[in-house]
Structure 1
Amino acid sequence: MSAERPSLPPVRLHSEAELARDALAAPLLVRAVRLARWAGPGTRVGAGGELVETQLPAAAEHLGLADDEDGAAYASEAWRLAVDTGLVDVEDPQDEDGLDETAGDDAEGTATAGENLALLTSGSPQDVLAIWLDGLDAVHADATAPAFDDFADLIGEDGSVDFDALDWDPEAEAEFLDGVLANLYLLTVSEAGPADAPVPLPALAASVVVPEDMGEPTDDVLEQVSEAMMRLDEQFRVLEPIGIVEYRPVDEALLTEEGEEATPPADDEDITRYGLVKLTPLGLYGIRERMQEAGVDAPAVGDLADKGADALLDGIAYYPEEAARSEVGLWLARRGADEAEAAAAELLGAARGADRRAPLRRLHCQQALALVGPEAEPAVRAVLGDPELGGLARVWLVERGATDVPAPPESMIFWLAVDTIAAQLDADGDLDELQELVEGLSGQHSGFFDEAWRVDHPATSEVLDAVGRLHRDRKIAKEARKAAFKARSRAKG
Structure 2
Amino acid sequence: MSGERTTMPPVRLPSEAELAREALAAPLYSRAVRLARWSGPRIPVGVTGTLLEKQLNEAVAHLGLADDDTGPADADDAWRFAVDTGLVELVEADAEDVPGGEAGPVGEDGTPVPVPAYAEPGQDAEDLLTSGSPHDVLEIWLDGLEGVLADACAPDLEDLLDGIAEGGEPDLDELDWDADEEAAFLDGVLGNLYLLTALEDEAGERAVPLPALAASVIVPDDMDEPTDDVLEEVSTAMMRLDDQFRLLAPIGFVEYRPMDEALVEEIGDDRDGADAAALGDEEDITRYGMVRLTPLGVYGMRSRMLDAGVEAPAVGDLSDKGADVLLDRLPHYPESAARAEVELWVARRDAASAARELLAAGRGDDESAPLRRLGCQQALSLVGREAEPALREVLDDPHLGGLARVWLTENGAADVPEPPQDMVFWLTVDTIAAQLTAQSDSAELRELVQGLVSGHSGFFDTVWRVDHPATADVLEAMGRLHPDRAVAKEARKAAFKARSRHGG
TM (normalized to structure 1)? 0.89
Whole-angstrom distance in 2 between the partners of 1:154 and 1:52: 27
Q: CA deviation at 1:237?
A: 0.7
Give the partner amino acid of 1:482: K
Q: Which moved more, 1:238-247 or 1:250-259?
A: 250-259
Whole-angstrom distance in 2 between the partners of 1:129 and 1:8: 22
**Which residue does 2:100 correspond to in 1?**
none
Give the partner amino acid of 1:308: G
**Which residue does 2:122 correspond to in 1?**
114
Q: CA deviation at 1:447?
A: 2.6
Whole-angstrom distance in 2 between the partners of 1:158 and 1:111: 35
| 3-state DSSP of counterpart to 2:9 | coil
**Which residue does 2:105 correspond to in 1?**
none
Query: Is the CA contact (8 Å cut-off) linking 2:41 and 2:121 kept in structure 1?
Result: no
Give structure 1 stretches of 5+ with no counterpart: 97-105
Query: Is the CA contact (8 Å cut-off) linking 2:204 and 2:292 kept in structure 1?
Result: no
Q: Give the 3 Å change call, closer, same or farther, for CA 214–172 of structure 1 in structure 2.
A: same
Whole-angstrom distance in 2 between the partners of 1:490 and 1:159: 84
Q: Give the 3 Å change call, closer, same or farther, for CA 417–13 of structure 1 in structure 2.
A: same
| 3-state DSSP of counterpart to 1:316 | helix
1:340 aligns with 2:351: yes
Q: CA deviation at 1:468?
A: 0.9
Q: Give the 3 Å change call, closer, same or farther, for CA 94–33 of structure 1 in structure 2.
A: same
Residue 184 (structure 1) aligned to one of 175, 193, 202: 193
**Which residue does 1:473 correspond to in 2?**
484
| 3-state DSSP of counterpart to 2:90 | strand
Give the partner amino acid of 1:435: R
**Which residue does 1:276 correspond to in 2?**
290
Q: Give the 3 Å change call, closer, same or farther, for CA 168–268 of structure 1 in structure 2.
A: closer
| 3-state DSSP of counterpart to 1:242 | coil
Q: Give the 3 Å change call, closer, same or farther, for CA 16–368 of structure 1 in structure 2.
A: same
Q: Which moved more, 1:258-267 or 1:244-253?
A: 258-267
Whole-angstrom distance in 1 between the partners of 2:374 and 2:351: 19
Q: Deviations for 1:343-396, whole angstroms, at most 9, x for unmatched residues?
A: 111110011112222111111211222221221111111111211111111222
1:224 aligns with 2:213: no
Residue 497 (structure 2) aligned to one of 444, 463, 486: 486
Whole-angstrom distance in 1 between the partners of 2:146 and 2:229: 33
Instruction: Summarize the alignment of residues 408-487 of structure 1 with structure 2, pairs less than 5 Å apart.
Output: 408-428=419-439, 431-487=442-498
Q: Give the 3 Å change call, closer, same or farther, for CA 144–209 of structure 1 in structure 2.
A: same
Whole-angstrom distance in 2 between the partners of 1:233 and 1:406: 64
| 3-state DSSP of counterpart to 1:451 | helix
Whole-angstrom distance in 2 between the partners of 1:428 and 1:473: 21
**Which residue does 2:219 correspond to in 1?**
210
Q: CA deviation at 1:242?
A: 0.4
| 3-state DSSP of counterpart to 1:485 | helix
Q: Deviations for 1:291-348, whole angstroms, at most 9, x for unmatched residues?
A: 222222222221111111111111212323332222111111112xxx2211111110
1:247 aligns with 2:256: yes
Instruction: Summarize the alignment of residues 259-270 of structure 1 with structure 2, pairs less than 5 Å apart.
Output: 259-260=268-269, 263=275, 264-265=277-278, 266-267=280-281, 270=284
Q: Give the 3 Å change call, closer, same or farther, for CA 6–12 of structure 1 in structure 2.
A: farther
**RMSD (Å), alpha carbons:** 2.7
Q: Give the 3 Å change call, closer, same or farther, for CA 93–158 of structure 1 in structure 2.
A: farther
**Matched residue pairs, number?**
477
Q: Give the 3 Å change call, closer, same or farther, for CA 162–114 of structure 1 in structure 2.
A: farther
Residue 413 (structure 2) aligned to one of 402, 424, 432: 402
Q: Deviations for 1:423-463, whole angstroms, at most 9, x for unmatched residues?
A: 11122178232112122234443332223223232222221
Whole-angstrom distance in 2 between the partners of 1:469 and 1:430: 9
Q: CA deviation at 1:141?
A: 0.8
Whole-angstrom distance in 2 between the partners of 1:113 and 1:381: 65
**Which residue does 2:65 correspond to in 1?**
65
Whole-angstrom distance in 2 between the partners of 1:124 and 1:28: 19
Query: Is the CA contact (8 Å cut-off) linking 1:9 and 1:319 kept in structure 2?
Result: yes
| 3-state DSSP of counterpart to 1:371 | coil
Query: Is the CA contact (8 Å cut-off) linking 1:83 and 1:89 kept in structure 2?
Result: yes
1:150 aligns with 2:159: yes
Q: Which moved more, 1:147-156 or 1:241-250?
A: 147-156
1:382 aligns with 2:393: yes
Whole-angstrom distance in 2 between the partners of 1:269 and 1:394: 53
Q: CA deviation at 1:107?
A: 6.1
Q: Give the 3 Å change call, closer, same or farther, for CA 284–46 of structure 1 in structure 2.
A: same
Query: Is the CA contact (8 Å cut-off) linking 2:35 and 2:82 kept in structure 1?
Result: yes
Q: CA deviation at 1:175?
A: 1.1
Whole-angstrom distance in 2 between the partners of 1:414 and 1:203: 47
Q: Give the 3 Å change call, closer, same or farther, for CA 213–444 of structure 1 in structure 2.
A: same
Give the partner amino acid of 2:92: D
**Which residue does 1:199 correspond to in 2?**
208
1:140 aligns with 2:149: yes
1:371 aligns with 2:382: yes
Instruction: Summarize the alignment of residues 72-83 of structure 1 with structure 2, pairs less than 5 Å apart.
Output: 72-83=72-83
Q: Give the 3 Å change call, closer, same or farther, for CA 423–402 of structure 1 in structure 2.
A: same
Query: Is the CA contact (8 Å cut-off) linking 1:6 and 1:299 kept in structure 2?
Result: no
Q: CA deviation at 1:26?
A: 0.4
**Which residue does 2:312 correspond to in 1?**
298
Q: CA deviation at 1:403?
A: 4.5
Whole-angstrom distance in 2 between the partners of 1:132 and 1:158: 40
| 3-state DSSP of counterpart to 1:278 | strand
Give the partner amino acid of 2:475: L
| 3-state DSSP of counterpart to 2:396 | coil
Q: CA deviation at 1:161?
A: 5.8
Q: Which moved more, 1:39-48 or 1:122-131?
A: 39-48
Whole-angstrom distance in 2 between the partners of 1:194 and 1:124: 26
Give the partner amino acid of 1:417: T
Q: CA deviation at 1:216?
A: 1.6
Whole-angstrom distance in 2 between the partners of 1:281 and 1:365: 30
1:314 aligns with 2:328: yes
Whole-angstrom distance in 2 between the partners of 1:428 and 1:124: 44
Whole-angstrom distance in 2 between the partners of 1:39 and 1:274: 40
Whole-angstrom distance in 2 between the partners of 1:404 and 1:436: 32
Whole-angstrom distance in 2 between the partners of 1:164 and 1:344: 65
- Sequence identity percentage: 66
Query: Is the CA contact (8 Å cut-off) linking 1:41 and 1:110 kept in structure 2?
Result: no
Q: Give the 3 Å change call, closer, same or farther, for CA 159–116 of structure 1 in structure 2.
A: farther
Whole-angstrom distance in 2 between the partners of 1:6 and 1:344: 32
Q: CA deviation at 1:281?
A: 1.6
Query: Is the CA contact (8 Å cut-off) linking 1:383 and 1:393 kept in structure 2?
Result: yes
Q: Give the 3 Å change call, closer, same or farther, for CA 88–277 of structure 1 in structure 2.
A: same
